[in-house]
Amino acid sequence: MILMSNRELPVVVPQGVILFPGVVAPIAAEGAATRQFLNQINKSEDKRFVVASRRADGSLVPVAVEATLVRILRRGDGGASFLARGERRVSLGAEVRTEPFLVMQVRDVIELRTDTVEADALALSVRQLSKQLIAAHPELPDEAALIAWAAERALPLVVFEREPARVDLWRAEMPEACVLVFGSENDGVAPEIVAAAHEVVAIPMYGLNNSYPVTVAAGIAMAEWTRRHFASGGPK
């Protein structure tokens, strides 16, 4: 990994979006400050900025993701959103200015590697903690809430499950406005969501592997979705 020196970059804090390195995600351009930021970034040569998130108390999470602007998406109602590609994790430093939009000092985060045993143990701990949190908070949205939320917004559910799949990735519709659904590696997507899906999709595999890790499957699917709808020369 090539480490870059400390630098000053614009920072956006979108609601409901957490960006990861190597992932392309749509972000709504809400508010005057975000629109000014977007206009300036679009005119700049390298189009780099930082996507951050907030804690429940309103403070910024100290580790964010440096991103590049892929494309601005104009809507018919005069609004806009934009596609951001996550590049690398960065640590947030001091504020440089807050007007007309937030600019902060950032520096690269050195990614630590661990051996397989430690990584597997950490993943197991996270899964167990997630189940405990869900059990302790029954008010969290469930499968029925997701189905209702998508139906209210006329967003088709595109579910990725190999066994019940009715079409492969290359022949799936995957409309521009949709919800891509991926399940856990142990349990898969809940049967209720599979039953409510607009289409159930399988990602073709070759060799002896039974399935992809969910992060790999999500990356493949989102890359194909992006290629179809936003990549230069791809189908619209």
Does residue 220 fall inside a structural domain? yes
Does residue 234 fall inside a structural domain? no
CA distances, 123 to each of 34, 65, 119, 186, 225 (Å) = 36, 22, 6, 12, 28
- Is the pLDDT at 167 greater than 70? The verdict is yes
pTM greater than 0.75 (yes/no): no
Both 84 and 154 in one domain: the answer is no
pLDDT of 116: 67
- Is the pLDDT at 45 greater than 80? The verdict is yes
Least confident of 117-126, 165-174, 185-194: 117-126
pLDDT bin (cut points 50, 70, 90) of residue 83 is: confident
Least confident of 58-62, 103-107, 116-120: 116-120
- Is the pLDDT at 10 greater than 60? The verdict is yes
Does residue 132 fall inside a structural domain? no
pLDDT of 2: 46
Both 92 and 159 in one domain: the answer is no
Both 210 and 159 in one domain: the answer is yes
pLDDT bin (cut points 50, 70, 90) of residue 1 is: very low
Both 166 and 90 in one domain: the answer is no
Does residue 113 fall inside a structural domain? no
- pLDDT averaged over every residue in the chain: 83
Three-class HEC string of the chain: CCCCCCEEEEEECCCCCCCCCCCEEEEECCCHHHHHHHHHHHHCCCCEEEECCECCCCCECCEEEEEEEEEEEECCCCCEEEEEEEEEEEEEEEEEECCCCCEEEEEECCCCCCCHHHHHHHHHHHHHHHHHHHHHCCCCCCHHHHHHHHHHCCCCEEEECCCCCCEECCCCCCCCCCEEEECECCCECCHHHHHHCCEEEECCCCCCCCCCCHHHHHHHHHHHHHHHHCCCCCCC
Does residue 236 fall inside a structural domain? no
CATH code for the domain of 155: 3.40.1280.10
- Is the pLDDT at 222 greater than 60? The verdict is yes
**Chosen domain end from 88, 108, 128:** 108
**Residue scoring higher pLDDT (195 or 24):** 195
Both 94 and 165 in one domain: the answer is no
Both 90 and 182 in one domain: the answer is no
Walk across the sheet containing 179-182 and list its strands: 167-168, 199-202, 157-160, 179-182
**Chosen domain end from 59, 90, 108:** 108
Number of domains in the chain: 2
**Residue scoring higher pLDDT (182 or 188):** 182
CATH code for the domain of 82: 2.30.130.40
Both 95 and 155 in one domain: the answer is no
Domain hosting 57: range is 7-108
